[in-house]
Amino acid sequence: MLPNYYKVFGLTKIATKEEIKKRYRELAKQYHPDVNNSPDATAKMQEIQEAYYILYDNEARSRYDIQYERIYGSKKQEF
């Protein structure tokens, strides 16, 4: 299953790089294992980092969008 990285960040498909960076920093402050003692903080932080690496890089984001569309189609997109 391909994760919906836009949903991880609570953003839409048309989000700008600035919005992605801002949201990444907000989530990192909230879920970083050094400040969040919950047992799933490390896994959540890894998910956030993965989403950031894909969405912030234009080429990776384009490939991701195409792949997501192929797998789920336009009906199931939650962008």
Distances, alpha carbon 41 to alpha carbons 29, 47, 55, in Å: 11, 10, 21
pTM of the predicted model, to two decimals? 0.86
Q: Is residue 76 pLDDT above 60, yes or no?
A: no
pLDDT tens digits, 28-58:
999 999 999 999 999 999 999 999 999 999 9
If pLDDT is split at 50, 70 and 90, which confidence band does 75 have?
low
